[in-house]
Amino acid sequence: MLCVHGGPLDPKKITPKDARSTSWLYQRPWQRLTSEDAEFISYSGYHYLASSAFGEAKNLQCNVILCGHQHSETAIVQDGKISEIYPSLKVTKEKISKHVIEKREIEIKSSLNYLIRLGLGGPEGNYGAVNGDYHFGIVQYNPTKVILFTVKP
């Protein structure tokens, strides 16, 4: 398992030699998963493809990448092809005090690769422009399961 704030790519491999003043945007904490069809750089960081992340994880001999930096949860699996699985995860809800906890479980199979973005750590991110939901995850032992939680106020 690889846990990173932003992304898993080796900055030495993706930083152009002429990027002196912007080289910090290629560092792992500033990397972010792109929804575009290509990788690119902007002042919010280096936007990487899931395929690049899975390639880097293979080099590091791990099949689960947990990342953050962005403000929404997602889960992507690679089993020959790359597929977004987050929308298909079963949601269970539990009310605790004044909050509703939404839980999504991902069973980890050693034959597949996973890229799981935990989402926002609270309403402070994104300059307060988010909906105020808190996101976090729990990894069960060795990891056989990743459980994503969203706390709704």
Segment-wise mean pLDDT, segments of 10 residues, the chain, 153 residues = 91 92 92 93 94 91 88 90 96 90 92 88 52 72 83 77
pLDDT on residue 132: 63
Closest residue by Cα to residue 14 from 46, 45, 59: 46
- Give the count of domains, the chain: 1
Q: What is the pTM of this model?
A: 0.86
**Rounded Cα gap, residues 139 and 109, in angstroms:** 14
Closest residue by Cα to residue 1 from 150, 136, 139, 147: 139
pLDDT on residue 135: 73
If you ran DSSP here, which 8-state letter would residue 56 be given?
H
The owner of tokens 């001999």 is: 61
pLDDT on residue 137: 78
Residue type (1 letter), 63: N
The owner of tokens 């935990």 is: 118
pLDDT on residue 123: 47
Closest residue by Cα to residue 72 from 31, 17, 125: 125
The residue range of the domain holding 32 is: 2-152
